[in-house]
Chains A and B, each alone.
Chain A
């Protein structure tokens, strides 16, 4: 629960910001811009309410707040001349409406005239604002957006950067694990697959079908359900009847949680269980009410990466809860890159975009994080719960991070 004081303070702050910007607009007719600035303004529109709020509240908003707080505690963002300027944040609620997010970005760009704009949550909303970000020349650090079309988008909008990869990446990494398991004789040839009928679920399932088939798997059960679905008794029982050893669900948190609970009830224990968003949340074991070891999902962390461990501790300390094991760290890294790019080239938007595109950065992902063709590719594609931690895994016997541990033990 936030305390009433900080609420009141934030109202007052927003009110002053509004008043100040109105004044600034009135004044800007005479003096275009003051050279000696005392702050850097960074704005964003995010879903604080509406159906998208749950995702934004887990992965994006806390990282924005964390990063801004950390930077300001250190005295502000460093500029090329070594001076520091504090960040002034302007945050709007897009109320999970596409029209609203578009107008909020227009407001940030042409009314508030902020120096930088951070992206909204979700593939659809990132695409909705992409043309505007490009038009106004802002670097667009599309974080919470999974799309296979990123290579096209970087051509269309050359100041856009994509940090979460595409469905094909996630699916092909998972397929490799399945192939290794099948070749080792630990699972059969059948896959049961469900997906949520929205952009995320369908994008993944579209990539998964050809990938599984090309690897010689038979998709024994393949259904899509509406996002409002809350009861999975029938779906789990049909998936169970399909005799598949692999259960794949491209789902959002409410479905992931409900599927988990139903799988426990029905003692549905296929050797491989791969669930969607939510399975990588730190609260997931608590929601399941028992050990979730063996459950697989997107993302995962390297437990031996000290930078990441430090980040997780910091996040827990300042935000009050741990970050998720997939998107959070990518979003945070994108912000670090933005900060370092500003430190190197200043506040010129085009120069910052160029630096993001070509530079090498020290982030929580590693000391040498860089983008390839404006996309982050050093992403952990498959993760698995092992000993109470969601770690990045690779096929058994493969190199890289931890080896996958299958079959998944039965639900308690």
Chain B
């Protein structure tokens, strides 16, 4: 029993880590980023290349890839998202536009990865060391994902709720129309939130590549998992993303242990659909 709780939390840590970035982009920058998973995959490949070709440890790679991703995402926002935001008549229009646009970005990233690396399976071994935790042995790299997601989550929650800048972020998230009335630069705030989201996608990618086999076209799997966590947790809510991520991890593990491993994903979608019907704004969402 305790063993399944721990395995579930460790698995959920990965989901939470991956989803927090998306909730920043979607909840605060208001960009529904369908290419989110492909940014994760791009980071997986970058780590893989740095590690196998240049011998740079994935932990050190974090220091290169995460800032790079922040800069790239700033650029993406500036060039592609900003025109959409300024022309959008209402939130719905921006949603449809950003879905279509990032759908295009998804294919571009995927196509570039396919040309550079081909469609094959990629995997390597790093930090695949047993760590004993409350009597259960878990993989070091997966534990790292959990620890990172909790740490990053805590930092973000602190920034959002305890600093002036966090207040600005929340104000933009709550009411993008009226925020400028208080002298808030919405554009800059949204850009920063989008870039932070991208940097977190890269963090997720670096960590995930340590234990998961990835291919150039596997991005959509991550996008969808992250999207489920984001919606479950309430869009824009960091604590919600963590709670929902951990919840999904627990659901999968318990169903695998006590019901049938064949039904893990069916169970995830059932929980998701049910909760969506009961609480359409998510666990921590604004009503």
B216's contact among A49, A225, A281, by CB below 8 Å, is which?
A49
A354 at the binding interface (Cβ < 8 Å): no
A32 at the binding interface (Cβ < 8 Å): no
B28-36, B82-90, B121-129, B179-187: which one contacts chain A? Answer: B121-129
CB distance from A411 to the nearest CB of B (A): 10
B104 at the binding interface (Cβ < 8 Å): no
CB distance from B68 to the nearest CB of A (A): 18
A53's contact among B11, B123, B216, by CB below 8 Å, is which?
B216
Known A48-B114, A48-B119; judge A237-B265 contact (CB<8 A): no
Whose C-beta in chain B lies nearest to the C-beta of A288? B125
Whose C-beta in chain B lies nearest to the C-beta of A237? B3
In the complex, chain A residues whose CB is within 8 Å of the CB of B260: 223-224
Considering the chains assembled together, what is the distance between the CA atoms of A57 and B164 in angstroms? 52
Considering the chains assembled together, what is the distance between the CA atoms of A230 and B12 in angstroms? 12
Interface string of B24-68 (1 = CB under 8 A from A): 000000000000000000000000000000000000000000000
Considering the chains assembled together, what is the distance between the CA atoms of A267 and B129 in angstroms? 11
B115 at the binding interface (Cβ < 8 Å): yes
In the complex, chain B residues whose CB is within 8 Å of the CB of A197: 262
Q: Which A46-79 residues have C-beta < 8 A from chain B? A: 47-51, 53-54, 56-58
CB distance from B97 to the nearest CB of A (A): 26
Known A49-B217, A262-B139, A265-B128; judge A231-B120 contact (CB<8 A): no
Known A48-B114, A53-B217; judge A267-B130 contact (CB<8 A): yes
Determine if B139 and A286 form an interchain contact, defined as CB atoms under 8 angstroms apart: no
In the complex, chain A residues whose CB is within 8 Å of the CB of B216: 49, 53
Considering the chains assembled together, what is the distance between the CA atoms of A47 and B217 in angstroms? 11
B137 at the binding interface (Cβ < 8 Å): yes
Considering the chains assembled together, what is the distance between the CA atoms of A225 and B266 in angstroms? 11
CB distance from A295 to the nearest CB of B (A): 15
Interface residues on A, range: 35 or more
Interface string of A252-293 (1 = CB under 8 A from B): 011001100110111100000000001001010011110000
B192 at the binding interface (Cβ < 8 Å): no
Determine if B124 and A287 form an interchain contact, defined as CB atoms under 8 angstroms apart: yes
CB distance from A204 to the nearest CB of B (A): 16
Considering the chains assembled together, what is the distance between the CA atoms of A225 and B138 in angstroms? 21
Number of interface residues of B (CB under 8 A): 40
Considering the chains assembled together, what is the distance between the CA atoms of A283 and B216 in angstroms? 18
Determine if B262 and A238 form an interchain contact, defined as CB atoms under 8 angstroms apart: no
In the complex, chain B residues whose CB is within 8 Å of the CB of A237: 3, 7, 257
Give the residue among B110, B118, B121, B257 with the most A Cβ atoms within 10 A.
B121
Determine if B253 and A234 form an interchain contact, defined as CB atoms under 8 angstroms apart: yes
In the complex, chain B residues whose CB is within 8 Å of the CB of A53: 114, 118-120, 215-217
Considering the chains assembled together, what is the distance between the CA atoms of A254 and B118 in angstroms? 16
Considering the chains assembled together, what is the distance between the CA atoms of A47 and B215 in angstroms? 13
A244 at the binding interface (Cβ < 8 Å): no
Interface string of A143-175 (1 = CB under 8 A from B): 000000000000000000000000000000000
B203 at the binding interface (Cβ < 8 Å): no
B105 at the binding interface (Cβ < 8 Å): no
B221 at the binding interface (Cβ < 8 Å): yes
Determine if B125 and A286 form an interchain contact, defined as CB atoms under 8 angstroms apart: yes
Determine if B261 and A234 form an interchain contact, defined as CB atoms under 8 angstroms apart: yes
Known A224-B262, A267-B137; judge A235-B256 contact (CB<8 A): yes
Q: Which B60-104 residues have C-beta < 8 A from chain A? A: none
Determine if A235 and B261 form an interchain contact, defined as CB atoms under 8 angstroms apart: yes
Q: Which B225-271 residues have C-beta < 8 A from chain A? A: 252-253, 256-257, 260-262, 264-265
Q: Known pairs A225-B256, A234-B253, A265-B130; list 18 more (Cβ under 8 Å).
A: A49-B110, A49-B119, A53-B119, A54-B119, A194-B261, A223-B262, A226-B262, A228-B265, A229-B265, A231-B142, A234-B7, A235-B256, A238-B256, A257-B213, A261-B139, A265-B139, A266-B137, A287-B124
CB<8 Å pairs between A and B, sample of 16: A2-B115, A48-B119, A49-B114, A49-B216, A53-B120, A57-B121, A197-B262, A223-B262, A234-B7, A234-B256, A235-B261, A237-B3, A254-B123, A264-B130, A267-B137, A278-B121
Residues of chain A having any CB pair with chain B under 8 Å: 1-2, 7, 47-51, 53-54, 56-58, 194, 197, 223-226, 228-231, 233-235, 237-238, 253-254, 257-258, 261-262, 264-267, 278, 281, 283, 286-289
List of 9 A-B pairs having minimum Cβ-Cβ separation, nearest first: A53-B119, A289-B125, A254-B213, A57-B120, A234-B256, A225-B261, A233-B7, A54-B121, A265-B139
